[in-house]
Structure 1
């Protein structure tokens, strides 16, 4: 049996946390479930991360960074409409192939709202900082066009919601996305 380093174990915790939090949300997911998925004890889990919030925020940060990397790789060497199409198609591919990433994103937004309602601003600060980096990653390939960036991200959020609710690609609720967003390459009828 090969022993994992602390960094490798930490990485496995982040991956497991994404899967667990995607399904159960922040409040519905126990650190015990994450530890069990990784195959470590809870005390060991807390040697890697100081608490549940730190685990959640590491998972949230990973989702944002993965999305940024997806957009950057797709748009490499492209600008404007070509970048828009490439980023949109790459994002659709990611959320179709790894739906836990989509669900984790949705849980991030719910966790921010719930935490801020309770007076905890750390969730929001971290997620908003990630969103700002995501905005920049989209804005630059789109020629720093604020309207294009807004439309792209707005359509992406609508796609997130429709996919999270399980609307099939041919359903009429998708129709408005086809002519304006044109980022639904794999969702086309």
Structure 2
């Protein structure tokens, strides 16, 4: 078996960190847990990343970029309601198939609030930049309409909340949120 390059190992750390931070949040996740999931020592982990904050930011950035890419791909070549339907379905499939992405996204928002309150603006700067990339990705397929883009993101946040609270897809609270307009 060939040895992993530093870049491949770095990638495995980001993926492991996403899973660990998704479960425990920034403050509840140890770098020891991340290193253990990857199968490396903590000193090696810190050769790849300077500190825990850098690991979290890399994991949060990856999570947000993964979501943005799914929405971008789903909306390619579509406009208006067709784009809304395709991107909504793609997002709902993503969080159903990869619930760790939703949990990581939610942990990211919680961490930004806590970190900024503690005087650590780096968290918020990165997340706001990623959010603006997401906005820009959605804005064109949604007709360049600020209200439509805002509405799409607002429904997305509602979907995040209902999913995080564990409402099953057939529950009445989902009615009207599925791309076909009904609860499943």
Class of the TM-score when normalised by the shorter of the 2 chains: over 0.9
1:170 Cα deviation after fit: 2.3
Partner residue in 2 for 1:55? 55
Contact 1:14 1:59 in 2 (8 A): yes
Partner residue in 1 for 2:121? 121
Partner residue in 2 for 1:45? 45
RMSD (Å), alpha carbons = 1.3
182 and 148 in structure 1: CA distance in 2 versus 1, 3 angstrom threshold = farther
Partner residue in 2 for 1:165? 165
1:172 Cα deviation after fit: 2.7
- Render the CA deviation track for 1:4-32: whole Å, top value 9, x for unaligned: 00110000000000000000000000000
Contact 1:92 1:184 in 2 (8 A): no
Contact 2:21 2:29 in 1 (8 A): yes
TM-score, scaled relative to structure 1: 0.94
CA distance in 2, matches of 1:74, 1:172: 26
Contact 2:172 2:183 in 1 (8 A): no
- Render the CA deviation track for 1:115-156: whole Å, top value 9, x for unaligned: 011111110011011001001111111111101100100000
123 and 74 in structure 1: CA distance in 2 versus 1, 3 angstrom threshold = same
Contact 1:6 1:48 in 2 (8 A): yes
SS of 2:25's equivalent in the other structure is helix
Alignment of 1:14-93 (within 5 A): 14-93=14-93
Confirm whether residue 183 of structure 1 aligns to residue 176 of structure 2.
no
Contact 1:88 1:184 in 2 (8 A): no
Confirm whether residue 10 of structure 1 aligns to residue 10 of structure 2.
yes
Aligned length: 184
CA distance in 2, matches of 1:184, 1:118: 43
- Render the CA deviation track for 1:55-112: whole Å, top value 9, x for unaligned: 0000000011111110111011111110111000000000000000000000000000
Contact 2:14 2:55 in 1 (8 A): yes
In structure 2, runs of 5+ residues without a counterpart are none
In structure 1, runs of 5+ residues without a counterpart are none
Partner residue in 2 for 1:100? 100
SS of 1:87's equivalent in the other structure is helix
Contact 1:72 1:137 in 2 (8 A): yes
